[in-house]
Structure 1
Amino acid sequence: MPFQLRAEREIVLLLAGAGFLAAAVWADRHDVEPVYSPYSGKYQGHEINPIDRLGYTVKNERAGDLADFGLYGGPTLPLLLSFDPVTRKHYPAILLIWFETMLLTFALSSLVKNTANRPRPYIYNADWMPDRILTRKDRAAFLSGHTANASAGAVLFAALLGAYDRPLARYGRWLAVGVAGLTGYLRVRAGKHWPTDALAGIVLGGGIAGAMVRIHRKANW
């Protein structure tokens, strides 16, 4: 088996994930100050960097719906290893690594969202009513949780295929790039995230998955 579990480390990782999630909930519940649209004087558009100006400010519900395939499909990919006879016998350990990866990704992305409070692109569209108070969902642009979770699941799947030297391992990286990139693009196209939000989600999710594989991998494997 290419991975090794240690009780102390796994407890720390699980507690860290729970702690970040609790912090995200605390930040959400203590965010009670009303915030208005860009045209009220709170946001004037000058904070939009040149890269993000390439994004979309019009909602595209179809693109948003398609991005849900990445949100749910990416994290599901590592679970497919339960069908492989080689990885199946190590599946409890793989399942724990998967759970830790997704917990940390979800908790950290939620914490960042609830503290950054970045308005979504559609707030800057001309049809937005200036006197409308921005809800929590309206201020959850940074970073893209869809992209972070899709990237975490896809990168973990690719890394596990490589660690076990499975026949499809050489395609795993391309799959990870495709799932992460397409999910990020669809969220930007939906008008829900700026390009930098999607890039940050890829870095966070992929980074956590890569780190989890690295810290669990046996040194002599």
Structure 2
Amino acid sequence: MTFFIRRYALILLVILSIVLALAIPFSCLSQNNNLPQYHLNTKRELTLFSSSLAGLGLAHFLRLQKPILTEDKINNLGHPDFLFGFDTYSTKQNNKTARRNSDYGLHFSIVAPTLLLLSPIARKNIKPMAIILVETGLTTSALTTLTKETVRRKRPYVFNPEVSLANKTKRDATSSFFSGHTSFTTAMCFASASMYAKYHPKSKAKYFVWATAAAIPALVGYWRIKGGRHYTTDVVVGYIIGASVGILIPEIHTKKK
């Protein structure tokens, strides 16, 4: 059953890629001179890059200063604190296949933007689009890791007796809030969908592209919960943050002719 689920997930992601690839070229006929263009501004781009890198650097520093959970602390934790009722579900999950599938989804979100290159319109604006996507990824990663290393919320598996002590005593065991897989996947998918929709405003395929962009990170979030890596609230917040960044970064670069 585990083998089947893993293969099914891979097949699903491949099918989505193929369908998106087929949808983009046909809708390229909608090009017109009134389409918005993405513009770069040296000061703005340097600010986004430097602030994101600084945030990642600070997060790494905080991570190194973070104490790990000891066996005594783990044994005396008792029940999880400050959790909504539905969050307790995650403490009973430990599905390895789900964790693996969530990694597949994350990797897909990194590759997915390259599908935009199938569009002649997008290829003419490859430089600003590439920079926008990099900024989207960096900004999301910085916000996520800084929050993780500041909040230091214990992951659900820390409270799961089926999980080994070795995993519970790693630094990553207190980096639950919020879900990085979900936030990053959402940001990249939403940014890609946003740019596609901007360049193909009359294409009916844009609705499918947006639906796919929304569904993939939701699926990744579900897998993170089933894998015991995140609470439902971690995933929901990660989705909201990722969606916000994925829409905002391309939008601030938009300028109509």
TM-score normalised by structure 1 residue count: 0.90
Q: Counterparts of 1:51-66 in structure 2 under 5 Å? A: 51-66=86-101
Give a deviation string over 1:68-113, Cα, whole Å, max 9, x none. Answer: 1221111322222122111101001100000000011112211111
- 1:23 is displaced (CA, Å) by 0.9
Counterpart of 1:90 (choices 122, 125, 140) is: 125
> In structure 1, what is the equivalent of residue 21 of structure 2?
none
Aligned Cα root-mean-square deviation (Å): 2.2
The amino acid that maps onto 2:142 is A
| Match status 1:115 vs 2:150 | yes
Answer 1 or 2: which has greater helix percent: 2
> In structure 2, what is the equivalent of residue 200 of structure 1?
237
Counterpart of 2:115 (choices 74, 80, 90) is: 80
The amino acid that maps onto 2:180 is G
- 1:66 is displaced (CA, Å) by 0.7
**Could you tell me how far apart the structure 2 residues matched to 1:194 and 1:56 are?**
8
> In structure 2, what is the equivalent of residue 215 of structure 1?
252
**Could you tell me how far apart the structure 2 residues matched to 1:171 and 1:37 are?**
51
> In structure 2, what is the equivalent of residue 22 of structure 1?
57
**Could you tell me how far apart the structure 1 residues matched to 2:239 and 2:96 are?**
22
**Identical counterparts, % of pairs:** 25
- 1:124 is displaced (CA, Å) by 1.2
| Match status 1:2 vs 2:25 | no
SS at 1:55's partner residue?
helix
Structure 1 residues 49 and 36 mapped into 2: Cα distance closer, same or farther (>3 Å)?
farther
**Could you tell me how far apart the structure 2 residues matched to 1:127 and 1:58 are?**
9
TM-score normalised by structure 2 residue count: 0.78
The amino acid that maps onto 2:177 is F
The amino acid that maps onto 1:67 is S
SS at 2:85's partner residue?
coil
Please say if residues 38 and 124 of structure 1, whose CA atoms lie closer than 8 Å, have aligned partners that are also in contact: no
**Could you tell me how far apart the structure 2 residues matched to 1:165 and 1:131 are?**
50
Give a deviation string over 1:48-80, Cα, whole Å, max 9, x none. Answer: 221312335231110111111221111322222
Q: Counterparts of 1:126-165 in structure 2 under 5 Å? A: 126-127=161-162, 134-165=169-200
Larger radius of gyration: 2
- List gaps (5 residues or longer) in structure 1: none
The amino acid that maps onto 1:155 is F
Structure 1 residues 35 and 113 mapped into 2: Cα distance closer, same or farther (>3 Å)?
farther
> In structure 2, what is the equivalent of residue 175 of structure 1?
212
Structure 1 residues 96 and 200 mapped into 2: Cα distance closer, same or farther (>3 Å)?
same
Counterpart of 2:139 (choices 93, 100, 104) is: 104
- 1:41 is displaced (CA, Å) by 3.0
Please say if residues 122 and 191 of structure 1, whose CA atoms lie closer than 8 Å, have aligned partners that are also in contact: yes
Give a deviation string over 1:113-158, Cα, whole Å, max 9, x none. Answer: 1222111111112345789862112112111111111101110111
Please say if residues 156 and 231 of structure 2, whose CA atoms lie closer than 8 Å, have aligned partners that are also in contact: yes
Q: Which moved more, 1:49-58 or 1:151-160?
A: 49-58
Please say if residues 140 and 245 of structure 2, whose CA atoms lie closer than 8 Å, have aligned partners that are also in contact: yes
Corresponding pairs, count: 220
**Could you tell me how far apart the structure 1 residues matched to 2:163 and 2:72 are?**
8
